[in-house]
Structure 1
Amino acid sequence: MIRAHTVAQVRAAEAELLARLPEGALMQRAAAGLAYAVLDLLGSAYGRRVLLLVGSGDNGGDALYAGALLARRGVQVEAWLLSSSAHEGGVGALRAAGGRIGTPGPGRFDVVVDGIVGIGGRPGLRPEAVDALAHVEGIPVVAVDVPSGVDVDTGEVAGPHVTADLTVTFGTHKAGHLLDPAAQACGAVHLVDLGLELPEAPVEALQAADVAALVPRPGPDAHKYTRGVVGVRAGSAAYPGAAVLSVSGAACGLAGMVRYDGAPAALDQVRAAHPEVVGPGRVQAWVVGSGSDDGAEDALRRSVADGVPLVVDADALAHAALVRGRPAVLTPHAGELARLLDVERTAIEARWLEHARLAARRLDAVVLLKGRHTVVARPDGKVRVTTTGTPWLATAGAGDVLGGLIGALLAAGLDPFDAAAAGSWLHGAAATLAAQDGPIVASDVAAALPVVLGTVVGR
């Protein structure tokens, strides 16, 4: 599990640790981790050239002490001090190690280390930082803790910011490492353990072992009904393929049975693709809305009346108020959530965390906001972010497969938050597997699900 803590949580944990450590020891730990990460990126030390962009905070100190370590290994290190209050001890250490203090201007460097603004900084950059970055455009950047100029706790950006190839963070991940748009500015993220004692994190990202632990496995005495029955009400005369794709996700093998009770116009296609799927009857979860067109409201009302957990997707999202307070997963993309909340789509895409939490709170249900890094929010504000996937997953019908998959997990016994987070992770992993040879369509994702489940969960 990747756990992302807030700035306040990190500051409190650092203060507790600092009280037990010699002065400067924590910064030295951070600087050593940063220096070795830069060396790994460089591939060699002697004769390589590294530039430090140094602001006034502790991140600037981390960069300076890391620069001193690099200089002692044979790296030519130069620092541009972008503040009159740069860390004095770090400046002295860099000079003593043979590094130099320069001024912004043209130069040849192999790597730029961004120590401009720390985790306590506000979004955006001051003009002198923007000017300095302009001189080194195109050179690989290593960000210290977070790319300067992003909002650490929300993942938002406002104005100019650093775009890093590698971010070396300390003690724990922060929300900005997982949440877009800031996550796109982080590049690869490398965590340096500082030994912090931290509370529960408000933002998490499941990993393969977490998903494997969550997915239910049949016991030795299991039969098709004890493993869960998932029902699908999807498709219409206009969109029969949505029914097929929703059923394909539901029929991944995690539930003991799939029932189709959607549009009659899609029934023959569903039966042809999945002869094991049966007709209406009792279920432990419903998947409603994909391609349902004008029939979405009626399908959702009938599903709500059954009193079982629900996945509400696509056309049914317009009637999401019907599930308020019930065990349900809503699966909007940014445009659908914008309509639900009556805001502009650009607002959703600028503040993913804020709007996913807002929707979950208003509708008193789990909200899965689909995107590059999908955000799954509970009404109490707890969030999981999905980091699996590929840009090829942005294809018509992929969300239909996801809805069916989450429905199968609900029917198998997971609560809505776990089902949404685990389903999103598996969906992204299946897309990545399917896209190894290039572009994919939604049915490719569904076909890859059993392979991913066999690898992650076990056969």
Structure 2
Amino acid sequence: MIVAYTAADVRTAEEPLLAAGVPLMDRAAFALAGVVVRELRARRGRVAGSRVVVLAGAGNNGGDALHAGALLARRGVAVLAVATAERLHETGLAALRSAGCSVVSVADGGPGARVWPGDAIAEAFTADVVLDGVLGIGARAGHSAVRGPGAEVLALLGELVADERAGGRGDGPCVVAVDVPSGVGVDDGDVPRPGGSNGSGSAPAGEPGAVLAADVTVTFGAPKPALLVPPACASAGRVEAVDLGLDLSGARPAVARLEPRDAAALWPVPPRAAHKYTRGVVGVVAGTPAYPGAAVLTVSAAVHAGVGMVRYLGSPGVTAAVVSHRPEVVAGDGRVQAWVLGPGVDPTDSAQAERVHGALAGVLAQELPAVVDAGALTLLPERLAPWVVLTPHAGELATLLSARGEDVDRAQVEAEPLRWARRARELTRATVLLKGATTLVVGPDDAVYAQADAPAWLATAGAGDVLAGLLGALLAGRAQDLAGEPSLVAALAACASLVHGRAAHVANPGGPVAALAVAEALPRTVAQLLAS
């Protein structure tokens, strides 16, 4: 499991080591230089003779980058430091200069010769590696955006690098972020926009809000939430965590990301004496005559995920379609351990809406776990419970929140997904799984998971129905465990997201994938997880 901690917790854990004279910056700089050396060898085939530009701010991240630059210079790398602040870290600057490196400044009164941002951008763009040490985790909450000439350098350099990557030419520099990409919201994953507001999109040059997307982020002590949480995580690239010996045992993780071994440990593996009822029975209310495919996809995923039995409730025509595609499914009501409600349900279909209402009443009265998706999200009572998992995408979450008095639209949810997922959890008391390129799960006690396991090909019709069925099967299989451990619901929701994403890779590695193919890949995916 990858675990991220807040900036405050990391700084608190650093204090006793710094007081004891432990050279944390030297350790960080050594590790940072090592990553740059590997990147130079991989991309350019050499270290000596390569060019590195260090973008350095006034804080400790700038100090880390300057010390790393000095180490690289001693290995024959031509290093140029570009100061984005009037003052730089003193010992880092001294080390860099003693190694014979040049220093220029885009800030008035900064060390070295004054250069225009455009000149610094040209130097950086033609370098082999750019170290982004402009701003780190010391920025105060709400003041994380880079401002002034540094923002102009990051914004315009970012545009040039992005154009190179989009064109597939690969001529631009490798960008290595120091601890976090400069300007991201370290604890919430936001990307600030001009004027202090948040949202997607880039900021005009020189205005606060510029973030230079990294190819690699080298983070120290422990990952920070921004490296796992969208939208900031999209700028982190590959994350390499450097162990500095911090004691974080007393700190509460801010965000977690499950890895395959975690999913294997969570998966309900039947004992030898199991039968279909002990393995879990999931009830499904999905599909209407207008959307029968949603029902087929949902039950197919539940069956392929290994649940003991699937019961389906719907209109006669949709029921016939479900049973013809999946003869294992039992049509009609009966005892279940978990419900999946809403995929393909038109809320104006009174019969199916009534089935959703009836199932939800049983879920709350009997404390049964449930997945509530799509059409059922508009049929909710005011308050739910942690064992209910809501699975909206950004637009559906905005609609759910607006119905509860929040002034928010889809773009705002996409700009601040963690904030709004937490708000939905607060208003409904349910566990919230917000679907996206990085899926967020917010559960009891502010447990947060961030999963980024799926290929972009999974953004296809019906994928959400498969996820709902998969999660319903998982909840049914672990239903007995949930009664005494409500926080397990969030972990299982994250587990379902991981398996869903990996199944898309298994279904067709590297290429387009259809929702039904993802469902059919679930048995192989689960078997691979358990075997590993």
Q: Normalising to structure 2: TM-score of the pair?
A: 0.83
- Between stretches 315-324 and 171-180, larger displacement belongs to 315-324
Structural mapping, 1:355-434, within 5 Å = 355-413=420-478, 415=482, 416-434=489-507
Q: What residue is the counterpart of 2:150 in the other structure?
A: 129
Is the counterpart of residue 116 in structure 1 residue 116 in structure 2? Answer: no
Q: What residue is the counterpart of 1:300 in the other structure?
A: 356
Instruction: Determine which of 55, 65, 76 is the counterpart of 2:78.
Output: 76
Paired positions, count = 457
Q: CA deviation at 1:196?
A: 0.8
For the Cα contact (< 8 Å) 1:320–1:363, is it kept in 2? no
- For 1:177 and 1:135, locate their aligned partners in 2 and report how far apart those are by CA, in whole Å: 21
Is the counterpart of residue 146 in structure 1 residue 180 in structure 2? Answer: yes
Identity %: 49
- For 1:354 and 1:130, locate their aligned partners in 2 and report how far apart those are by CA, in whole Å: 25
For the Cα contact (< 8 Å) 1:71–1:77, is it kept in 2? yes
Is the counterpart of residue 5 in structure 1 residue 5 in structure 2? Answer: yes
The aligned amino acid for 1:109 is A
For the Cα contact (< 8 Å) 2:447–2:490, is it kept in 1? no
Q: What residue is the counterpart of 1:188 in the other structure?
A: 238
Q: CA deviation at 1:98?
A: 2.3
CA RMSD across the alignment:
1.6
For the Cα contact (< 8 Å) 1:367–1:376, is it kept in 2? yes
The aligned amino acid for 1:130 is A
Is the counterpart of residue 454 in structure 1 residue 527 in structure 2? Answer: yes
Secondary structure class of the residue paired with 1:249: helix
- For 2:189 and 2:457, locate their aligned partners in 1 and report how far apart those are by CA, in whole Å: 23
For the Cα contact (< 8 Å) 1:303–1:310, is it kept in 2? no
Q: What residue is the counterpart of 1:96 in the other structure?
A: 98
For the Cα contact (< 8 Å) 2:385–2:431, is it kept in 1? no
For the Cα contact (< 8 Å) 2:255–2:449, is it kept in 1? yes
- For 1:135 and 1:234, locate their aligned partners in 2 and report how far apart those are by CA, in whole Å: 49
Is the counterpart of residue 254 in structure 1 residue 274 in structure 2? Answer: no
Q: CA deviation at 1:301?
A: 1.7
The aligned amino acid for 1:338 is A
Secondary structure class of the residue paired with 2:146: coil
For the Cα contact (< 8 Å) 1:235–1:292, is it kept in 2? yes
- For 2:304 and 2:426, locate their aligned partners in 1 and report how far apart those are by CA, in whole Å: 31
For the Cα contact (< 8 Å) 2:190–2:416, is it kept in 1? yes
Is the counterpart of residue 310 in structure 1 residue 370 in structure 2? Answer: yes
The aligned amino acid for 1:129 is G
The aligned amino acid for 2:422 is R
Q: Deviations over 1:216-259 (max 9, x none)?
A: 11111111111111111101100000000110111124311111
- For 2:150 and 2:137, locate their aligned partners in 1 and report how far apart those are by CA, in whole Å: 16
- For 2:439 and 2:344, locate their aligned partners in 1 and report how far apart those are by CA, in whole Å: 21
- For 1:56 and 1:302, locate their aligned partners in 2 and report how far apart those are by CA, in whole Å: 60
Q: Deviations over 1:17-42 (max 9, x none)?
A: 222334xx100010011101111111
For the Cα contact (< 8 Å) 1:361–1:381, is it kept in 2? no
For the Cα contact (< 8 Å) 2:6–2:225, is it kept in 1? yes
The aligned amino acid for 1:46 is A
- For 2:472 and 2:218, locate their aligned partners in 1 and report how far apart those are by CA, in whole Å: 38
Q: Deviations over 1:298-324 (max 9, x none)?
A: 122221233321111100001222661
List runs of 5+ in structure 2 lacking aligned partners: 106-114, 162-172, 193-208, 403-407, 483-488
Q: What residue is the counterpart of 2:337 in the other structure?
A: 284
For the Cα contact (< 8 Å) 2:57–2:84, is it kept in 1? yes
Is the counterpart of residue 243 in structure 1 residue 295 in structure 2? Answer: yes
Q: What residue is the counterpart of 1:203 in the other structure?
A: 255
Q: What residue is the counterpart of 2:327 in the other structure?
A: 275
Is the counterpart of residue 27 in structure 1 residue 25 in structure 2? Answer: yes
The aligned amino acid for 1:68 is A
- For 1:69 and 1:2, locate their aligned partners in 2 and report how far apart those are by CA, in whole Å: 29
Q: 1:132 to 1:309 in 2, by over 3 A?
A: closer
For the Cα contact (< 8 Å) 2:306–2:523, is it kept in 1? no
Secondary structure class of the residue paired with 1:457: helix
Q: CA deviation at 1:437?
A: 4.6
Q: What residue is the counterpart of 2:281 in the other structure?
A: 229
Secondary structure class of the residue paired with 2:427: helix
List runs of 5+ in structure 1 lacking aligned partners: none
For the Cα contact (< 8 Å) 1:361–1:380, is it kept in 2? no
Q: CA deviation at 1:81?
A: 1.3
Q: Deviations over 1:89-127 (max 9, x none)?
A: 111111212222134413331111000001122332212
Is the counterpart of residue 36 in structure 1 residue 34 in structure 2? Answer: yes
Q: 1:385 to 1:326 in 2, by over 3 A?
A: closer
- For 1:87 and 1:193, locate their aligned partners in 2 and report how far apart those are by CA, in whole Å: 22
